[in-house]
Structure formats: structure tokens, C-alpha cells
Amino acid sequence: MKSASTKRLFLIFTLFSLISLFFFSPFFLRKFAKALVFTDPLKQADAVVVLSGDSGFRILKGIDLYHAGYGKKIIISGNKIYNTSHPQLMSQLAQLKLVPSQDIFLEENSLSTWDHPRYIDPILKQQKINKIIVVTSYFHTRRVRHIFNRYYQQKNVSITVIGADDGIDYNTWWKDHNMTEAILIEWAKTIWYFLFK
């Protein structure tokens, strides 16, 4: 006859195994990553806001939206680097893709997602912009939506968040180092922002 302590250990081991099987199953891992993605239905806006922080997919998406007539201006938000800035580099690409320089506005002081709405706000006021489409990477969309909606909730600015390609395969991301790093870091930032910002 098994002792009470043996039964208890068996029960703990079984529960731990079931929990591990659930949390580390492909089904859960897919849901875990896809929960970071939130893309609004696309609608007309006054301007397309493109956040820096990737290798170029965001600005290309912003350019496509501009040429499709979803916004009459492009606002590029990011930070300085060496003797230039991410927004300046992104602006150069936009102009190569036939976006007129007079339709491009740069914000070069944002060091984090928290900064973007605060630093683009003067541009929105100056240009009388009330509706914006914010373009970021898919895995970044939920946090961006939370931060922008929270900042602009009392400012009469309509926010639409759209995802750009991020190179992540949401069905097998845990098998790749770079994808795993992106997902886990984004989840850590998301939790931190929801708790402390």
C-alpha cells in the first residue's frame, strides 16, 4: 500500500506534468504569441504615423497606406542615432518611394513606445490632425494600441493601429532564437507597461 507522502508526490508530479504539457504545447505557444497582435479595421485618417524600431517593414507599410489614400501625411517617430536619426533614414526611403517631402513630418526624440504619442502630439495639433493610423510591427500592436489609446482618450484623436510584417512565424516561433527573443521581450514589456504605466 502506498504511503500518503508517495501519493502526494505522485499527485504533484502529475499536476506539474499536465501544466507543463499545457503551457509548452504548440497550441498554447501559438496563442501566447498571437495574443500580442491586435490590428484594428483599416479606415481613413488624416495621417499615417510610422514608429521606428524595425528593419524597414513599418515604413514600407506606411508608404503603401499613404499611396492608397488612407492618410495625406506621414509622421515618422523615433530617435537620433550618430549624426542622423531613424526618422531621417525612413524619410529618405519614403521620398525614394515618391512620397513628397512636404507630406513627411519627423519626430526624433522618442526613446520608447511610451514616448511616441507624447512627442507626436505637437505635430498633430499644429497640423490639425484628428485621425491617425499608427503603423508598427505585428507583435508590437497590442502594447501600442494600449499606450496610444490611453494617452489620447481625452484628446479627441481617433487611433487605428495597423501591423506591419515582423518576420515572425506565429505557428513555430519558439523554434527560432530571434523570434523567441522578440516574443518573450515583448511580453515582458507588455506586462510591465500594464502594471506600472
As beta bridge partners, residue 73 has: 47
Question: Would strands 84-85 and 80-81 be described as parallel, antiparallel, or unpaired?
Answer: antiparallel
Q: Render pLDDT for 58-82 as a digit per residue (tens, 0 to 9).
A: 999 999 999 999 999 999 999 999 9
Report pLDDT for 1: 46
* Cell output for 42: 483599416
pLDDT classification of 17: cutoffs 50, 70, 90: low
User: Mean pLDDT, the chain, as a whole number?
Assistant: 91
- Pairwise pLDDT comparison (11 vs 173), residue with the higher score: 173
- DSSP track, 46-86: SEEEEE--SSSHHHHHHHHHHHTTS-SEEEEE-BEETTEEH
- CA-CA distance, 93 to 80, in Å (whole number)? 17
CATH code for the domain defined by 47-164: 3.40.50.620
Tens digit of pLDDT for each residue in 180-189? Answer: 999 999 999 9
Q: Does the pLDDT at position 14 exceed 70?
A: no
In the chain, the percentage of residues whose pLDDT exceeds 70 is: 90
Which long-range contacts link 77-81 to residues 24+ away (Cβ below 8 Å)?
77/49, 77/50, 77/51, 77/52, 77/107, 77/110, 77/116, 77/119, 77/120, 78/51, 78/52, 78/53, 78/107, 78/108, 78/110, 79/52, 79/108, 79/109, 79/110, 79/111, 80/108, 80/109
pLDDT, one tens digit per residue, over 88-143 is 999 999 999 999 999 999 999 999 999 999 999 999 999 999 999 999 999 999 99
Q: Write down the pLDDT at residue 57.
A: 97
Phi-psi region of 167 (alpha: psi -120 to 50; beta: other; left: phi over 0): left
